[in-house]
């Protein structure tokens, strides 16, 4: 029996995604004006009210679909508007949103403009079908996520505008999966980024200078890399673990020196550390402080980022939203697997205020966030709209 291949390129939601991908909102010189104009036009077309929060340079846009019982805790679908820069040689222009072999190419196709459009299209479809949910649904579009979210979601959750949403459950971005099942992330590793500054005696490169910065930074790097090897081996030895289950450590910058024949006064080693949810933060920091003392005098820590520990969202029968969401996906004949997000997202700011799951309906596709030739199969994108429709009807009517 032959199967008819569907031409998804003519789908109205796909065309909408193309138009959104063509709106540039790229770091480092990001400008949100055109993006906000595009999204507000979407809300206007659906007849939904909108609200602008925070500053013009770092705006948050809220679009609201009111429920039949607006006094109930609401549902929040969050997405970020910004993308990372474009690097490398692309097969298709990164902001042309061209389609080839059933894939749409462009910066943001996976991270995360596709999810933004899926949120909008799912609500649009439910309204067109005459559906009403008990709970109000809010769609938030936030800035600055790709720079860490400090000027976006972190500030937004402090506002009265956020508190007035009365959020009971939220969804934020997840990751694609090459397998048949969807991935859902109940928590994420904690981001610590730090500089270890090693100072010592400067002098001529021909001497064995005591108390020099090179010896100190070597000691620090050795300790971090030994621990890195230990965590990496855990991942190799235990097939049940994923990258989200273990702490990762990477040396990302090494700075210092003036001339080849001068032992410098200072070396600085910068590390990007993502702490597993099982790590005791106090003990981990004490260990680093001990390494600094072992290295010698004049060795200090400067944190660029030091996120607090946030417990993962519960994923058992006590979380009625998760039970409803899981059931809506399994009713489509699709499995869903729980993991810990290996990186960080805006969910870490939300999770202190409400249950949050990181989820984007992308399966049968390798994850490509920030990569050259970032792309998404159109069939996966369209399937995701139906998934969000079903999820919203399930969680939006939770008793």
Nearest in space to 378 (alpha carbons), one of 4, 13, 2, 1: 13
Query: Which residue in 111, 144, 145, 389 is the catalytic one?
Result: 145
d(CA 353, CA 372): 35
Q: How many CA atoms lie within 13 A of 114 on its CB side?
A: 33
Strand partners, 46: none
Residue 68 · residue 132 · CB < 8 Å: yes
What is the distance between the alpha carbons of residues 195 and 209, in angstroms, rounded to a whole number?
24
- 3-class SS at 149? coil
Q: Both ends of the chain: CA-CA distance in Å?
A: 45
Tell me which residue of 195, 226, 221, 216 sits closest to 295, measured CA to CA.
216
Question: Known catalytic residue: 82?
Answer: yes
Containing H/E element for 15? helix 12-21
- Give me the active site residues, please: 82, 145
């Amino acid at each position: 029996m032959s199967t008819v291949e569907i031409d998804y390129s003519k789908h109205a939601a796909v065309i909408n995604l193309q138009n959104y991908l063509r709106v540039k909102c790229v770091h480092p010189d990001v400008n949100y004006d055109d993006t906000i104009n595009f999204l507000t036009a979407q809300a206007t077309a659906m007849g939904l009210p909108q609200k602008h929060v925070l500053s013009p340079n770092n705006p948050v846009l809220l679009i609201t679909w009111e429920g039949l019982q607006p006094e109930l805790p609401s549902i929040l679908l969050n997405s970020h508007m910004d993308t990372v820069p474009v690097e490398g040689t692309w097969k298709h222009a990164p902001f042309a949103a061209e389609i080839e072999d059933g894939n749409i190419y462009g910066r943001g196709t996976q991270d995360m403009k596709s999810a933004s459009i899926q949120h909008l299209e799912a609500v649009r479809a439910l309204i067109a079908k005459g559906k009403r949910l008990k709970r109000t649904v809010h769609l938030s579009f936030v800035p600055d996520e790709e720079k860490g979210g400090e000027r976006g979601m972190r500030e937004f959750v402090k506002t009265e505008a956020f508190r007035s949403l009365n959020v009971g459950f939220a969804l934020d971005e997840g990751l694609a999966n090459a397998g048949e099942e969807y991935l859902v992330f109940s928590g994420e590793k904690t981001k610590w980024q730090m500089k270890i500054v090693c100072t010592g005696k400067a002098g001529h490169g021909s001497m064995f200078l005591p108390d020099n910065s090179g010896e100190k930074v070597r000691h620090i790097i050795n300790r971090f890399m030994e621990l890195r090897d230990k965590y990496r081996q855990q991942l190799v030895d235990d097939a049940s673990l994923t990258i989200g289950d273990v702490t990762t450590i990477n040396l990302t910058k090494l700075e210092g020196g003036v001339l080849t024949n001068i032992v410098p006064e200072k070396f600085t080693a910068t590390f990007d550390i993502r702490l597993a949810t099982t790590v005791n933060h106090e003990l981990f920091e004490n260990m680093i402080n001990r390494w600094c003392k072992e290295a010698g005098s004049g060795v200090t820590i400067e944190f660029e980022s030091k996120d607090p520990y946030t417990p993962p969202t519960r994923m058992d029968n006590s979380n009625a939203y998760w039970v409803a969401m899981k059931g809506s996906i399994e009713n489509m004949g699709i499995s869903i697997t729980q993991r810990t997000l290996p990186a960080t997202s805006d969910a870490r700011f939300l999770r202190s205020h409400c249950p949050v799951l990181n989820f984007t309906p992308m399966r049968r596709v390798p994850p490509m966030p920030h990569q050259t030739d970032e792309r998404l199969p159109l069939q996966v994108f369209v399937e995701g709209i139906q998934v969000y429709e079903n999820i919203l009807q399930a969680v939006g009517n939770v008793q």
